[in-house]
Chain A
């Protein structure tokens, strides 16, 4: 029994020591919250209608922007629907707001000119023109929507390749897939019921295909299209009416884009990645009426005809100033659905689908709170909290030492172990999850010292009772730990319930507090079971403390003790 206790204690201590050592070796340390470091915090919340997809995308977009600016240790947290962005070190509030304001609005712009930035992809130009065949054969089988009239697809494909998409002829070669930019094609997948299609007698309607080539990496494309001077200044990307310069996501091509003729809101929010024509593509349906299909068709026909407004016949899908895809339009008019096909990888197709889905119902984020914390104030607070906290702990330990004599050393050990665990966990979470230690968190930890010490007080008081009742130290330690453990669990569970409820349901600093409260409560329980219990039981077995004098309780003469001189 003793050996088992000693082993478990040794294992526990070495685990803690290892964790702490690893933390130091890896150079992890708790990152400091904004209130301790100084910086700007911006809280945004979506207003109006939006879906969770678009919110996710907005968060990603914010993260990309913040990362691209090289802000050290930014903290981007989603709390319910609110997005909190903490930018330590940023001092200019307006800059911070500009940085984090994204709309998630998808604009559809005609491509006036496109130029690949890297030239080392030329070989791909030689990819055989397999496109027409591929699209025509695959599309019918693929348009799996129940209402589809599959037949027209076969009509669609051949004319496309002939008339409008010379570059698109290079499309589907699997060999090109690994390369950065997908070669894309848009084709229509009709979701509208077939009868209506035929009655309206719009020939292109039911299954138009837009073939596109975004890669632009082919030599043919370059020669066929006007080139873009990368240094050309463009208008404000968020202004739909401006002519802008934009790049695609991986920066392999640069575009000059005309004024947007529509936004992503022409689509229904149902875009999904699917296998179309044997490769990954995106299928999306158009909204009906003036705000949907009509608007889209205006642009599609312009691009299809390749006039001055859309000389390249390509239509760029632009999110937040970045071209997501720029497919060539393969037919002038669409009715039900649109297929975007080409050499997408599965994840590329899914990304594009997500973009379209969120663009269909863009999230409008409104800045709800902006807080600037000056770093000097942060510095002062931090130092004060640390010094005051340490002195507070020292006072508590002195008090314990005075009251419980040598046994207080166990309390010291327990607090050290608990501190080591918390330091390791917080450091780890700082690194992996961007958790930051805020002032309220730090204060919460200081307060939790009281709770941790209480576990010992409960235990020691019960121990005293038992010893006083005349039991041996050894016997008392076991009995009193059992009953103290019950009390500790009961009380700690209340704290845990509180911590969890608050963490789950609130935002801001209360949430941070709840996290640290939960962490320190768990720590308290772990330390009580794995450290205090074996240590105390081993001490109680030892010859030295067998008499219970360490507690200030003299079991030899039940309850005479008036320890500290008995001040009246």
Chain B
């Protein structure tokens, strides 16, 4: 059917941008999977909640090097000695490389108690007072931080939606925001399920996810917009346009994700695993999950969603359900031209120079005539 040689292997097709995955036709699988993930996240959020750190709830946290005399029980008794309520205290052992730490977290306590506990912890652990680190955040400040972050987030979403609606179209804005919320929900769900503590670093990670998800989606939509223009003179269903675009940028999406995931993976495995920086662990884990879902959602969620919205336009409504798959789709992906009777027969060029035969049709369709450059002479 086609004169263009299509690689036999999947890798070859990927490498050359010749894949023909029917993202639109298989959209229900993606939606189903995401829906399941979101339901799990929401259920977990309501039943287990998230483990907010003291930065958001307020409270005091001590961290003391663990030793023979300093363990979870010893820490608990120190709290008891100082009249601190231990029932709600979170006491855990953290491992950082070769060292172990005991981390104790309780609600708001006055300065005197903070210092007393710090001193006693140092004494029991046999270290100097300086080695016991204390953090305290008043609950009102915690609330302020949370409120500010939420407000910033809402304003950010509004601004970005406006930008996308202006630069592309409102349907894309809607689809991109929905896909992004999906990513954040799934990431938050993982935090809820695993019970990891949400710290400011986590929020930073979530914001990165959010930004990355949008970024990724926009690159895909840029291609979609290109193709919508390119096919504007033809009767091609949105589904085809979307499928073509998604396949054309598939390798880009994969490459970008790999490029983004590699450093994060290195942070996670080497930074926190081998070198034992605990501060890096949760951060990089959140990022890993987020970047992965971000890449996934831009192709499997945002793009089909956009197609669904776009199909409501009168121009495309009548074409619904007539999208092509298989080799016909592949043909469109490879040539960037509508399939069927309009398909242009491409002449295989024998040299490295530009083909001459296909200039007529494809050149006209693929790019508008270039205005004459004035600067030249």
A interface residues with partner B (beta carbon < 8 Å): 35, 43, 45, 80, 82, 91-94, 97, 366-374, 376-377, 380-381, 383-385, 387-389, 391-393, 395-396, 399-400, 403, 439-440, 443-444, 446-447, 449-451, 453-454, 457-458, 461, 464-465, 468-472, 475, 479, 483, 486-487, 490-491, 493-495, 497-498, 501-502, 504-510, 513-514, 517, 546-548, 552-553, 555-564, 566-568
Contacts and interface: CB of A to CB of B under 8 A. Distances in A.
A383 B219 contact: no
A490 B212 CA distance: 13
B215 to A, nearest CB: 5
B263 A447 contact: yes
Interface stretch (B149-157, B185-193, B233-241, B312-320): B149-157
Which interface class (under 10, 10 to 19, 20 to 34, 35 or more) fits B?
Answer: 35 or more
Contacts of B350: 556
B9 A458 contact: no
Interface string B124-145: 0000001111111110110011
A385 B280 contact: yes
Given A505-B148, A559-B7, A369 B207 contact: no
Contact of A399 (B226, B262, B351): B262
Nearest to B263: A392
Given A399-B258, A490-B218, A498 B210 contact: yes
Contacts of A447: 208, 212, 260, 263-264, 287
Contacts of B362: 469
A139 B194 CA distance: 75
B17 A464 contact: yes
A505 B7 CA distance: 51
B247 to A, nearest CB: 12
B215 A373 contact: no
Given A374-B133, A502-B207, A509-B203, 14 more contacts: A35-B279, A369-B137, A383-B275, A385-B271, A395-B262, A450-B256, A453-B260, A458-B219, A469-B336, A497-B159, A498-B160, A546-B352, A558-B346, A567-B11
A91 B130 contact: yes
A458 B252 contact: yes
A494 B152 contact: no
Contacts, number: 312
Given A468-B16, A561-B12, A498 B156 contact: yes
B161 to A, nearest CB: 10
B217 to A, nearest CB: 9
B164 A494 contact: yes
Contacts of A380: 96-97, 275-277
Nearest to B253: A457
A377 B96 contact: yes
Interface string B319-361: 0000000000000001010000000001011111111001000
A425 B131 CA distance: 34
B67 interface: no
Interface in B243-295: 248-249, 251-252, 255-256, 258-267, 270-272, 275-277, 279-280, 283-284, 287, 291
B167 interface: yes
A350 B260 CA distance: 54
A151 B95 CA distance: 80
A502 B156 contact: yes
Contacts of B145: 506-508
Nearest to A565: B11
B105 to A, nearest CB: 13
B55 interface: yes
A490 to B, nearest CB: 6
B309 interface: no
A393 B259 CA distance: 9
A468 B362 CA distance: 13
Given A387-B271, A396-B263, A567-B9, A559 B287 contact: no
Contacts of A381: 277, 279-280
A387 to B, nearest CB: 6
Contacts of B258: 399
Q: Report the 5 A-B pairs with minimum CB-CB distance, sorted nearest first.
A: A450-B260, A392-B263, A368-B141, A392-B266, A388-B271
Contacts of B336: 469
B200 interface: yes
B63 interface: yes
A374 B262 contact: no
A510 B131 CA distance: 27
Interface string B218-233: 1100100010000000
B133 A377 contact: yes
Nearest to B287: A447
Nearest to A380: B277
A93 B204 CA distance: 26
B6 interface: yes
A443 B279 CA distance: 11
Nearest to A493: B163
A562 B13 CA distance: 8
A374 B276 CA distance: 15
A559 B6 contact: yes
A444 B260 CA distance: 12
A566 B11 contact: yes
A507 B276 CA distance: 28
B88 interface: no
B200 A510 contact: yes
Contact of A368 (B132, B134, B137): B137
In this complex, which of A368, A513, A546 has the most chain B Cβ atoms within 10 angstroms of its Cβ? A368
Contact of A517 (B149, B211, B291): B211
A501 B156 contact: yes
Nearest to B200: A509
A568 B14 CA distance: 11
B63 A450 contact: no
Given A510-B200, A557-B5, A93 B134 contact: yes
Contact of B204 (A392, A444, A567): A444
Nearest to A479: B367
